[in-house]
Every structure is written in C-alpha cells, then in structure tokens.
Amino acid sequence: MGSDGTRFRNEVSVKGAFMNPKRSGRRQFLKKAAAIAGLAAGSGSLPANLEAEPVPERIDDLHAYGERSHFVNSLRTGSINNPERHLENEPQIFGLKTPLQDSVGMITPSSLHFINSHGFEPPDIDPAEHRLIIHGLVDRPLMLTMDELKRLPFESRFHFIECHGNSNPSGAFGTARLSPDATVQDTHGFTSCSQWTGVSLSLLLKEAGVQESASWIIAEGADPNKHSKSIPMGKAMEDVLVAYGQNGEPIRPEQGFPLRLVVPGWQGINNVKWLRRIGVVDEPYMSNLESTKYPSLKLDGKSHWFENQMGPKSVITRPSGGQRLPGYGFYEITGLAWSGAGAIRRVEVSIDGGRTWKDAKLHNPVLRMAHTRFSLPWKWNGEEVVLQSRCTDEEGVVQPTLKEVAKLWGTDIDYFRKITLTLANFNAIQPWKVHSDGSVQNALY
C-alpha cells in the first residue's frame, strides 16, 4: 500500500470528523422524535430537555480505531492463486507469510499473523449465530454459544502457531525460499506468535464427560473446506485452548473468528479455525489433509504421519536476507527462537559460519511453545561474514544443521531442494551471508 493512498484516507477521515453523515442522521432523528413528542403533548414547541440533549460526538474512524503510521508499510506476502506456484499434483495455495524482518519483541500483530487456509476464503460468521457442539463418546453432549463460552473460566497464554511447511526448501514455496535474495519472510514467515485467550479444551471435555472408550477427538471448522483434524486425547486434555481472543481483541476473521483451536507446539494444521465441532471418537478419522497431504514421505516410500510436534527452530530476523548494513560499526543481532517441546533454554549465535558460537541474550518473556526474542551485540568491521543462530529447548534438544537434518532423513542435503513435495517440520539452522558491501543474502546452500 503506497503512502499516497493512506494520506488520501487520512483526509477523508478528517473531513468525516466535521461532516459525519451518521451524526447528522442522528440529529434529524432527534428533531423528528422531538416533533412527535411535541405533538403528543399537544404543544407546538419542543420540550426543553430534548432540545438540550447533548449529541454524542462520533469520533472519526482513525481515532476510534487506530491505524499504524502511513510510513510503516510492512505487509504479509505470499500467494493467493498465483499460477506460478501451481504444481502438477497440488492445488493452488492460499498462503501469506508474516514479515518477520520487521518484527520486534515476541508478539506478531494479529493483522500480520500468517495465513494458510488451503485455498479457501475465511467464512463470514455472525458470532451470535455461532455454536460449538461437543458430542460423540461423551456422557453429556454439549452445545455452547459464544456468550456461554465467555462465562466459563478462561486462560490467556502466549503461543506460536507454525505451519508444518515453514522454512522448508521445497514444495510450493521452495523457489522463493531458496533464492539468494530471500527475506526471512520468504524463508520463515509461516510462524507467528500471539496471546490467545479462551477456554481450556479439557474443561469442556470434562463437562461433557469423556467416556472410557474415547482416545481421539475430531476438531472441525465451519469454513467452506470444513477442515477437520484428528487429535489424540492426550494432547486434547493436556494444554489445548478453545480460543476466542487474540492479542487483546476477538480473533480476526482470517484467523478463525469467532472461535479456533490453539494446539500449542503442534503443526499449524491442528489449530482448527472457525471451530464448530469437537467429536469425541475412538480412532483418528484420517481426513484429507492429515492422511494424504501432511504425512512426511521419506525416500523409502514410507510416509510418516501425525508428526505433530514442531522441533526447535530459530532464525536471525535482523540482519537478514534482503537487508543492507549501511556501514561498519555496532549492530544488535536479533531473532526469534521457538520449540514445540516447551521453552527455549538457550540461543547461540555464530558470526563465523558456525565455527564458534556465543550465547545470545533471551528477552523476557521466555515462555513454553512461544516465540522467544534473542539478541547479541555485534560490531561489523566490513568483512564478509556468515551469521546464524541455533537454539536449545527445555528438553535439551539442539536445532540441527542442514547436514544433520539430511542425516536424520537418511539422505544428502541436495535432496531437499530437488523433491517437489512440501517437507514437514524442516528446522535446519539458517545462515545469512553479509557481503563486504553490507548486503545480506540467504545462504542455506
């Protein structure tokens, strides 16, 4: 969005403050009402109290609902039905990535939270009409309105949500991700972190009375895709939220308004948006995405399905791909680290291509299954350097190098850029090369 457009909207809004159509409409209504009241009272004059009633000022839109400065132009990028992204076996992707290069702190603005809705547009749901049904292997099937959900005890927790394909070098986004000019948005933009508020799923399941034979749930959305996901009961009872709030406001439409599941630390696909139903069942239902698109196909032809938990991952967001250091001297290297296993315990940064590492500072809050902001002071002397970060989570698991990921897969590193599939849970260390002219480039390969 150009600054011209924003400025134009500013002008409109300022005018609106003086000539607000709704305000004049209210005045006319008051006059009419006063006239009727006057007639009813058998008098031609207006009653004094009505005449004197102050007309509430309606604040112009920019003051009533804030917008960022028109000098700030950070946007989600990606593809919406971009024919260039179309692969032979895959539908076109609706995927928009978070501009991590512009991020500060550990929260993602809701307006910039990544979107991947598998090619379907968000439904337009009236929260007054929305219902959550819990049924199946329960003693007491339960139906709740949004208002009823909000009467229940709530929890507010910070969690990242990450697409299982985030940062992987192949598949629909592979070309953009592997380009030397890739930004951290291109490489890692399918992760975002919010404060989510809602009701613990375990509370709702206990209210419904889960029967002994139950071992899974199916969560289902009200979107045109009616996306459904099977989740083991252990996780459902552990820490899943039925969330209606995101960063202090109702969840946004593209994030699942009015209700979504937040499944901490697990592949994005589990976090069912526009949640309308929880089925309590005794086996995974093997819906389309979970049984045919998300299994991780390995070289032996075997597919590993339900690799739910995301591994430890970190990335330097500044300096990062596409940026340019304006000159020698001091820079605060900063980035984000997260793990599906819990909290980040340690982040190390290397400025010499991985030969030596220094501990970075972890900025509060450092929370379980949440982005953690890290930083390390650095003085650039104009030499060509390779910057990278690696994290260790609370279980002591260290983020792997590209070579180590290849070893885990039983292959070599070139395989990842040759295969046409989207690879799951790819969490290799991300190197950025700083050239002597200050330009920063993607150096995964």
Partner 1 sequence: MRYSPGRYIATGVFKMHCTKVLITAIGLLHAGALWAQMPSYSNIGRTPTKQEIQAVDISIGPDGKGLPAGQGTSKEGAAIYVTKCAICHGPEGQGGKIGPRLIGGKPDADSLTTTRPVRTIGPYWPFATTIWDYINRTMPRNQGGTLGANEVYSLTAFILAKSGIIQENDVMDAKTLPKVRMPNRNGFIPQKFSDIPDIRKRGCRQGLCP
In this complex, which beta carbon is closest to partner 1, that of residue 121 or of residue 352?
121
Whichever of 32 and 302 has its CB closer to partner 1, that residue is 302
Nearer to partner 1, 186 or 290 (CB): 290
Judged by DSSP in three states, 286 sits in coil
Q: Which residues are 354's β-sheet partners? A: none
Shortest Å, Cβ 359 to partner 1: 20
Q: How many CB atoms lie within 10 A of CB 212?
A: 7
Shortest CB 304 distance to partner 1, Å: 5
Tell me the closest approach of the beta carbon of residue 273 to partner 1, in angstroms: 15
> In angstroms, rounded to a whole number, what is the distance separating the alpha carbons of residues 133 and 122?
20
CB of 230 to partner 1, least distance (A): 8
Q: Which of 209, 221, 232 is nearest to 259 (CA)?
A: 221
Number of residues that bind partner 1 (CB under 8 A): 95
Burial of 170 (0-12, 13-18, 19+ CB in 10 A): buried
Strands 241-246 and 216-221: unpaired
Report in angstroms the alpha-carbon separations of 223 from 114, 248, 252, 255, 261.
Answer: 17, 24, 14, 11, 14
Q: Return the residues of window 222-261 that contact partner 1 according to CB under 8 A.
A: 224-226, 228, 232-235, 237-238
Residue 61 or 90 having the CB closest to partner 1:
90
Of positions 44, 301, 326, 327, contacts partner 1 by CB under 8 A: 301
Q: How far is the CB of 394 from partner 1 (least distance, A)?
A: 14
| Selected binder of partner 1 within 79, 116, 246, 427 (CB under 8 A) | 427
Chain CA centroid to CA 147, Å = 25
Backbone angles phi, psi at 106, to 5 degrees: -115, -5
Segment 128 to 167, residues that bind partner 1, using CB under 8 A:
131, 133, 135-136, 139-145, 148, 151-153
CB of 364 to partner 1, least distance (A): 25
Minimum Å distance from CB 216 to partner 1? 8
Least spacing, CB of residue 349 vs partner 1, in Å: 19
In the complex, least distance from residue 229 CB atom to partner 1, rounded to whole angstroms: 10
Q: Which stretch binds partner 1 (CB under 8 A): 187-195, 292-300, 316-324, 384-392?
A: 292-300
The residues in 403-422 that bind partner 1, with binding defined as CB under 8 A, are 404-405, 408-410, 415, 418-421
Q: Which is nearer to partner 1, 313 or 318 (CB)?
A: 313
Q: Distance (Å, rounded) from C-alpha 216 to C-alpha 280?
A: 6
Nearer to partner 1, 205 or 362 (CB): 205
* 53 is a site residue for partner 1 (CB under 8 A): no
Q: Which of residues 343-382 bind partner 1 (CB under 8 A)?
A: none
Q: Between residues 322 and 340, which has the closer beta carbon with respect to partner 1?
A: 340
- Minimum distance of partner 1 from residue 271's CB (angstroms): 17
Enumerate residues 271-290 that contact partner 1 by CB under 8 A: 276-277, 279, 281, 283-288
| Separation in Å, CA 281 to CA 162, 263, 275, 292 | 26, 18, 17, 20
Give the residue, chosen from 4, 57, 84, 88, that forms a contact with partner 1 under the rule CB under 8 A: 88
**DSSP code for 56:** P
Contact 169, 160 (CB under 8 A): no
Q: Are 311 and 425 in contact (CB under 8 A)?
A: yes
Residue with Cβ nearer partner 1 (50 or 397): 397
Using CB under 8 A, which of 425, 430, 441, 442 touches partner 1?
425
Measured between alpha carbons, how far is 306 from 266 in angstroms, rounded to an integer? 10
The most distant pair of C-alpha atoms in the chain lies apart, rounded to whole Å, by 93
CA distance 196 to 242: 9
Identity of the residue, 192 or 296, whose beta carbon is nearer to partner 1 in the bound complex: 296
DSSP class per residue in 116-150: E-TT-PPP---TTT-EEEEEESBSS-EEEEHHHHH
Shorter beta-carbon distance to partner 1: residue 39 or 143: 143
What does the alpha-carbon distance between residue 224 and residue 226 come to, in Å, rounded to a whole number?
A: 5
Whether the CB-CB separation of 275 and 256 falls below 8 Å is answered with: yes
